Amino acid sequence: MTAVFAVLSAMSLVVLDAGMLNVALPVLSERLAVAPSQAILAVTAYQAGLVMALLPAGALGERFGLRRIFVLGVSLFALASLACAAAPGLGWLVAARLIQGLGGAAVMALGVALLRQALPPDRLGAAIGWNALTVALASATAPALGAAILAAASWRGLFLANLPIVALSLLAARGLPAGRGAVRRIDPVAMLLNATGFGFFILAMARAPTHPIQAALAAAAGLVGFVLLVRRETGKVAPLIPLDLLRQPTFRLSVTASICCFMGQALGLLSLPFLLHQQGFDPMATGLRLMVWPLAVALTAPVAGRLADRLSTDGLCAAGGTTLSLGLAGAALAPPGLTLICLGLSGVGFGLFQSPNNRNLFLSAPADRSGAAGGLQATARVTGQTLGSLAATVLFGLGSEAPSLALGLGAAMALTAGCVSLARGAPSQRSTTAS
């Protein structure tokens, strides 16, 4: 249980920090005397550091040991939090947030991989469910906790609040399996190309709404980085981008389903506040209603994790994707009085999908490639959320019907995730995996 606590406390740390800062952006803009668009750079920098380091963190964990890199990531996150709290200006804060993202990437990439090492296979699904519960509760409580800290202290207190959780996680990390690193070569050039590709990708996302030409150039540069990376990594036994794992049909389909589901989630969560506003709800009422989604995830995910240890993950994921799709479509089409029920359905569907899919993804990879599997799983999540945000940005330029259109697209992506999950159980896929 000590190992589970170490992972879950660190995961809550990463999620809470991101959610609390979002609430503080107006205060941050005022205190640092910068425009709101500049204050958002503190969020973008964290996202960039996170996505740039997910795959390298998995590779470093396999080379030097999962626990060692996990502890290093938590420690780096703590030091960066201190730097954020001491930031004299926006430039310092943005740089420190980038480093925070690098530390958070180790937690996100290696957390479930460590759970796989610490627990037997028949308990992994339950542990993943508890992990999903932790993320859901942290997401739901982060805005309120951030507001409470801002009411009692300055924005710097948001980063100092990380330190007690860091201390608990590092103490519990002694219970994590030590594990030995594998004999594999770390390729700095591949890591640089990975950082270039994802860094320009995040930059393109940030500039797309206001500077489309710059966004297009950044996206092109990111694409070049990815192409060069794939060419460099092709043929390697343990590549940075786990092409060896993606050749396995079950693993590949789990990653694809994850991207589709998280894209649907992002479209839903970005669209629902606007839909509720159109329905006449004030900000307080909107916030309370939106809490139904993460709370439903929190209730469903542990149950889904336990079921995944006993039942077919393909069927559970298909049921989850279908339920999420029904919830999002219902929110777009149903009268305002039923919106709350649709939010609950969406949360139940997402929780029912996530835990079984993650279990399937990790168990379809060899144990010595758990770090790479964790890095790619986290990358799939961020990629899906980013694509959902991009799609929402495009759709919201179409007028008042944009929230309903975005919810409809989200429903389609959730249903696609369910269908892809069912494809894992096709006879051809089973035979390929077995061979």
Render pLDDT for 279-317 as a digit per residue (tens, 0 to 9).
887 767 777 788 888 888 888 888 888 888 887 888 899
Tokens of 279: 């329905």
Residue 411 is predicted with a pLDDT of 94
Q: pTM of the prediction?
A: 0.78
- DSSP code, position 180: P
Helix axes 66-85, 370-395, angle to 10 degrees: 40
Question: How many whole angstroms separate alpha carbon 280 and alpha carbon 298?
Answer: 28
**Number of Cβ atoms within 10 Å of the Cβ of 245:** 22
The residues, any chain, with a CB within 8 Å of residue 347's CB and separated by 6 or more, are 136, 292, 293, 294, 295, 296, 297, 300, 327
Residue 183 is predicted with a pLDDT of 55
Residue 430 is predicted with a pLDDT of 39
Residue 26 banded pLDDT, cuts 50, 70, 90: confident
Averaging pLDDT over each range in 130-134, 207-211, 217-221, 387-391, which range is the top one? 217-221
Helix axes 90-118, 66-85, angle to 10 degrees: 160
pLDDT: which is higher, 137 or 398: 137
Averaging pLDDT over each range in 75-89, 125-139, 161-175, which range is the top one? 75-89
Residue 81 is predicted with a pLDDT of 93
CA contacts within 13 A on the Cβ side of 97? 23
Does the CA dihedral 126-127-128-134 come out positive or negative? positive
Closest Cα to residue 421, out of 304, 306, 298, 328? 304
Residue 407 is predicted with a pLDDT of 92
Tell me which of 23-32, 231-240, 419-428 is least confident. 419-428
Tell me which of 161-165, 180-184, 429-433 is least confident. 429-433
Report the percent of the chain where pLDDT is more than 70: 95
Residue 146 is predicted with a pLDDT of 81
Residue 432 is predicted with a pLDDT of 36
